[in-house]
Amino acid sequence: MKASFRSDQVEYAIRDVVVPATILEKQGAKITNFNIGDPNKYDFKTPPHMLEALQNIANDTEMGYAPSEGNLELREEILAFERSKNMLSATEDDILVTSGISEGIQMLIGATLNPKDNILIPGPAYPPYTSLTRYFGADPIIYNTLEKENWAFDIDDIRKKINAHTKAIVLINPNNPTGALLPKNHIKDLVDLCGEHDIFIISDEIYDKIVYDGKHYSPSSFSNDVPVVVANGFSKVYLVPGWRVGYMVFHDPQERISEVEDAVKKYSRLRICVNSPCQKACISALKGPQDHISKMVSKLRERRDYMYKRFNEIEGIECAKPQGAFYMFPKITHPAWTNDKQFVLDILNNCHVLFVHGSGFSKEQGHMHFRSVFLPPIEIIEEALSKVERYLDSK
């Protein structure tokens, strides 16, 4: 029996590269992982008050289903939290709790797109946006970002690629995999463009509190009529990626995508609900102390600066400085390679250091790049990049 044709559309480079790494580990190799954006794999710990909340819930609360839309108190806290940052036209009924942002992406794309429809996705971008669009029989259209301009998007390229079948534009800010942070005027320009063409914005803001230079702006703050679906969650900023609690907020002042919102909610009922105890524990994340965030960002800034310096010291690698998130997207300039995936595999096999090939984030814009996290302590970064430097020097 054969798998469905949809299965051929699914790629996830971030975890696909784990397969050859696992083979090496079974042979006794110790792999230094720079591939997964999981702070908890390193020396970042979940805030104690959140762990205490989860423990108390496990001891005292009935382990029953939650509402499909999400725990009401959590949605109320999410609304207050998002309103403290952005100008939102929404109520708690416009918030849907999801099993991480990834499930939210799947439900939103499935509820929005028919075959022959398209959405515009930045190149490079978090892979599920592209894979899931294809999975539902629609077309992902990649718009350009400009490496020489800190990976800011090309508004003229976006304008050229909008057509009668375009339903939405995806914005990932700060960006995964480049760490780019978009300036206010770019966000406003995109909102105006979407207003001209009657399309909505999917705004992925999972890294909104992890910013080193500048300030994060949400398109919802500049939109009086353009619908914006804000996607966010607790995995990164609150250091609970394994809890799988994310959310979507439908900012829709004129109710132009109310059918899409209703369709996503129907989809949510089909999958029953998100982990109930973890939802309740996430209430403590928003109501409790926030001081771990500044400490985390300070630690990450130091590691970013060090890794940025080291990458640019290696002959055959060039790297732009990320302004947010915890990723770098270096360019491979070494003449020994013409294929970024082969570069990543060669580094893995010869240095036992695992990156992710850039073409896994965009075939064109990611070509001859690779993604690295800068989550590990500096001594681990130094040891790994010294191995990479010696290997490239030998080629």
Per-residue pLDDT of the chain (395 residues; tens, 9 = 90+): 877 777 776 666 666 778 888 899 999 999 999 998 999 999 999 999 999 999 999 887 678 899 999 999 999 999 999 999 888 889 999 999 999 999 999 999 999 999 999 999 999 999 999 999 999 999 999 999 999 999 999 999 999 999 999 999 999 999 999 999 999 999 999 999 999 999 999 999 999 999 999 999 999 999 999 999 999 999 999 999 999 999 999 999 999 999 999 999 999 999 999 999 999 999 999 999 999 999 999 999 999 999 999 999 999 999 999 999 999 999 999 999 999 999 999 999 999 999 999 999 999 999 999 999 999 999 999 999 999 999 999 98
Residues 90 and 191 in one domain: yes
What the block records as the tokens of 148 is: 């020489």
The pLDDT score that the predictor gives to residue 62 is: 73
Looking at the structure, do residues 103 and 160 belong to the same domain, yes or no? yes
Dist. CA 40–CA 226, nearest whole Å = 37
Q: Examine the domain organization and report whether 366 and 325 are in the same domain.
A: yes
The encoded tokens of residue 87 equal 């100008």
16, burial (CB in 10 Å: exposed 0-12, middle 13-18, buried 19+): middle
pTM of the model: 0.94
Indicate which CATH number applies to the domain containing 205: 3.40.640.10
Between the CA of residue 304 and those of 4, 212, 331, what are the distances in Å?
Answer: 42, 9, 16
Do 235 and 40 form a contact (C-beta atoms < 8 A)? no
Kindly state whether residues 280 and 320 are assigned to the same domain.
no
Tokens of 194: 């979407």
Question: Within this chain, do residues 100 and 208 fall inside the same structural domain, yes or no?
Answer: yes
Which residues, listed in sequence order, are joined to residue 211 by a DSSP beta bridge?
324
Pairing relation of β-strands 200-204 and 228-233? parallel
Of 258, 287, 316, which closes a domain? 287
Pairing, β 200-204 against β 166-172 = parallel
Are residues 40 and 100 both part of a single domain?
no
CA 381, CA 302: separation in Å to the nearest integer? 12
pLDDT for the residue 10: 67
Does residue 199 share a domain with residue 187?
Answer: yes
Q: Is 139 helix (H, G, I), strand (E, B) or coil?
A: strand
Dihedral sign of CA atoms 346, 351, 353, 355 in order: negative
The structure tokens listed for 176 are: 């995964």
Q: Which of 264, 287, 310 is the last residue of a domain?
A: 287
pLDDT at 15: 65
Are residues 158 and 65 part of one domain? yes
Helices 100-112 and 258-270, axial angle in degrees (round to 10): 120
167 and 102 fall within a common domain: yes
Provide the number of structural domains found in the chain. Answer: 2
Torsion angles phi and psi, residue 239, rounded to 5 = 60, 45
For residue 188, the model assigns a pLDDT of 97
Whole-number CA gyration radius for the chain? 21
Q: Could you tell me the residue range of the domain that residue 386 belongs to? A: 5-45+291-394
Residue with tokens 């998002």: 82
68 and 168 fall within a common domain: yes
Whether the CB-CB separation of 231 and 104 falls below 8 Å is answered with: yes
pLDDT number for residue 14: 65
Domain boundary among 240, 269, 287: 287
161's tokens: 């690629």
Q: With contact defined as beta carbons under 8 Å apart, do 334 and 370 qualify? A: no
Same domain? For 12 and 107 the reply is no
Based on the fold, state whether residues 111 and 134 are members of the same structural domain: yes
Q: At what angle do helices 128-135 and 100-112 cross, to 10 degrees?
A: 40
Q: Residue 72 phi/psi, 5° resolution? A: -65, -45
Q: Which residue has the tokens 């970013």?
A: 304
CATH number at residue 372: 3.90.1150.10
The Cα–Cα gap between 188 and 204 comes to 16
